């Protein structure tokens, strides 16, 4: 009985992954998911930092834009944002789907990064800003050289969580026909008519990626704290 179950499961694995090198769907999808996450994270951090500064200054049109941006992005699902950007806003742009997806995920992440960074900056003692200005630094220089480096230490755990969420969020890229890790697993399931092996493999790969990211961020945080 037990041997029969093992044999049956081995046959399913062979059919789903090994036969006709179907595991390549997962390998290629893994690469796509990592590329999407990295490019979206770069966009999200860069734009999120700017939006956070706009909101902290709380003056005029820039603050209004920052508040409106955060409200809209956080108030709508990521999959809706992705499809609207791909099928409506950039439909006739001729840009590759990967680039559009990176932009969409980056714009989404920026709203959350902005609030994380804003909280970290606000947590830095105001005396640090006053000290920087008394040394003759401009407000921008004070923010760049004194406040933000201290804020990074405060927000690193939350920022790491955002990157992990972003990695999992890229699994909806299949909605615009990008064959990421999740979509690769769906292809295998549709070819083999087996809805168990591929999804389990996809879940396990995502688990490995997220735990690896969490471990790396934990080591980075400890290293930064050691210098305090």
Inter-CA distances, 132 with 61, 117, 147, Å: 27, 20, 9
CB-based contacts of 95, cutoff 8 Å, min separation 6: none
What band does 204 get if pLDDT is binned at 50, 70 and 90? very high
Torsion of Cα atoms, 114 then 118 then 121 then 125, to 10°: 180
Domain that holds residue 181: 22-226
Could you tell me the CATH number of the domain that includes residue 123? 1.10.3720.10
Residue 185 lies in a domain: yes
Residue 62 lies in a domain: yes
DSSP class of residue 77 equals -
Residue 172 lies in a domain: yes
> Is 181's pLDDT higher than 60?
yes
What is the tally of structural domains in the chain?
A: 1
> Is 3's pLDDT higher than 70?
no
pLDDT tens, position by position, 67-100? 999 999 999 999 999 999 999 999 888 899 999 9
Residue 15 lies in a domain: no
Query: CA-CA distance, 97 to 102, in Å (whole number)?
Result: 9
Higher pLDDT, 182 or 146: 182
Residue 82 lies in a domain: yes
What band does 203 get if pLDDT is binned at 50, 70 and 90? very high
Query: CA-CA distance, 24 to 17, in Å (whole number)?
Result: 8
Q: Is residue 183 within 8 Å of residue 28, measured between CB atoms? A: no
Residue 2 lies in a domain: no
- At residue 1, the pLDDT reads 55
Give the global pTM: 0.87
The mean per-residue pLDDT over the stretch 53-61 comes to: 83
Residue 183 structure tokens: 């979509």
Residue 12 lies in a domain: no
H/E/C letters for each residue in 150-175?
Answer: HHHHHHHHHHHHHHHHHHHHHHHHHH
Residue 126 lies in a domain: yes
What band does 163 get if pLDDT is binned at 50, 70 and 90? very high
């Amino acid at each position: 009985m037990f041997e029969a179950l093992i044999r049956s499961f081995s046959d399913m694995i062979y059919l789903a992954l090994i036969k006709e090198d179907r595991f390549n769907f997962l390998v290629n999808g893994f690469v796509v998911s990592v590329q999407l996450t990295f490019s979206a994270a770069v966009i999200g951090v860069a734009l999120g930092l700017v939006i956070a500064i706009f909101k902290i200054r709380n003056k005029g049109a820039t603050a209004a834009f920052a508040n409106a941006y955060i409200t809209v992005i956080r108030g709508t699902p990521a999959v809706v944002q992705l499809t609207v950007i791909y099928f409506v806003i950039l439909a006739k742009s001729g840009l590759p789907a990967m680039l559009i997806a990176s932009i969409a995920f980056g714009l989404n992440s920026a709203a959350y990064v902005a609030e994380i960074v804003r909280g970290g900056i606000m947590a830095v003692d105001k005396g640090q800003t006053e000290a920087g200005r008394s040394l003759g630094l401009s407000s921008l220089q004070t923010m760049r050289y004194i406040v933000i480096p201290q804020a990074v230490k405060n927000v690193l755990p939350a920022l790491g969580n955002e990157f992990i969420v972003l990695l999992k969020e890229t699994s909806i890229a299949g909605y615009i026909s990008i064959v990421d890790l999740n979509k690769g697993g769906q292809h295998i399931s549709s070819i083999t008519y087996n809805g168990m092996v591929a999804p389990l493999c996809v879940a396990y790969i995502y688990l490995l990626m997220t735990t690896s990211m969490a471990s790396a961020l934990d080591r980075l945080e400890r290293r930064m704290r050691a210098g305090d």
